[in-house]
Amino acid sequence: MSDATPAADSLAGRLAEVTGRVSDAARDAGRDPAEITTIVVTKFHPAALVAELAELGVRDVGENRHQEAQAKAAELAGLDLRWHFVGQLQSKKARQARAYASAIHSVDREALVDALRSDEASVDCFVQVNLTDDPGRGGVAPDRLEALVERVLETPGLRLRGLMAVAPLGEPARPAFARVRAMSERVQKLDPTARDLSMGMSHDFRDAIMEGATHLRIGTAITGNRPVAG
């Protein structure tokens, strides 16, 4: 690989820029950049782009559509990648998602927890919380958080990592992420090891880092604009 600085508008250039911004934000928050995992979300992008990311050193890749994730994971099975499922998951697809995903970031209801049960192997999971008043949005309502966490903890085959959230549109992201951080403290009373926070995307990952995010889900800032879905 050349020592030349990659062009800013190239995939390598965008990855380098985001990596630098993540490190800067972590240091500003008094944190070690090494404790933050950047998941590159590649929705609608071809497997070839994921392969290029792997050549650039990316190991954590996110998808939010099961059929697309399943196909890419199969095509790129020879690469050392960790696939993160970050979208809404139908219960009937849960067992298929377990087959390729290292982590499920969108566990938000008891039916999905039950569908993810396994006596053979464990998968990492995050409980998604809904930060809006719209019950149609993904995530468990905050007042039902403990009940769902307890269901996860008693279900074989699930290893609870922490919480996931999407900041609501139309309001400042950092206060929303601060609410997630407070909810995380509630979760840790049930499982002290469930300290991770999956939050922060292309437009708000600095705010997420300032509030303790450990897993960022970044798409367009690294991959560029998504192709139009066919």
Q: What is the pLDDT along the chain (230 residues), one digit of tens a residue?
A: 445 567 768 999 999 999 999 999 999 999 999 999 999 999 999 999 999 999 999 999 999 999 999 999 999 999 999 999 999 999 999 999 999 999 999 999 999 999 999 999 999 999 999 999 888 889 999 999 999 999 999 999 999 999 999 999 989 999 999 999 999 999 999 999 999 999 999 999 999 999 999 999 999 999 998 765 54
So what's the pLDDT on residue 1? 43
The Cα 145–Cα 109 span in angstroms is 10
pLDDT of residue 177: 98
For residue 158, the Cα-to-chain-centroid distance in whole angstroms is 16
Share above pLDDT 90 across residues of the chain, in percent, rounded to a whole number: 90
Q: What is the pTM of this model?
A: 0.94
Any idea what the Cα angle at residue 71 is, between residues 69 and 72, rounded to 5°?
A: 65
pLDDT at 9: 82
Predicted pLDDT of residue 135: 82
Cβ-in-10-Å burial (0-12, 13-18, 19+) of 166 comes to buried
- Nearest alpha-carbon partner for 72 in 92, 91, 39, 44: 44
Sign of CA dihedral 209, 214, 27, 224: negative
The per-residue pLDDT for 228 is 59
Residue located via tokens 């880092």: 209
Structure tokens at 200: 């922060």
- The residue assigned the tokens 């019950």 is 135
Whole-angstrom Cα distance, residue 18 to residue 102? 23
- CA 175 – CA 125 distance, rounded (Å): 24
Query: Do residues 199 and 174 touch, judged by C-beta distance below 8 A?
Result: no
Q: Is-contact 66 85, C-beta < 8 A?
A: yes
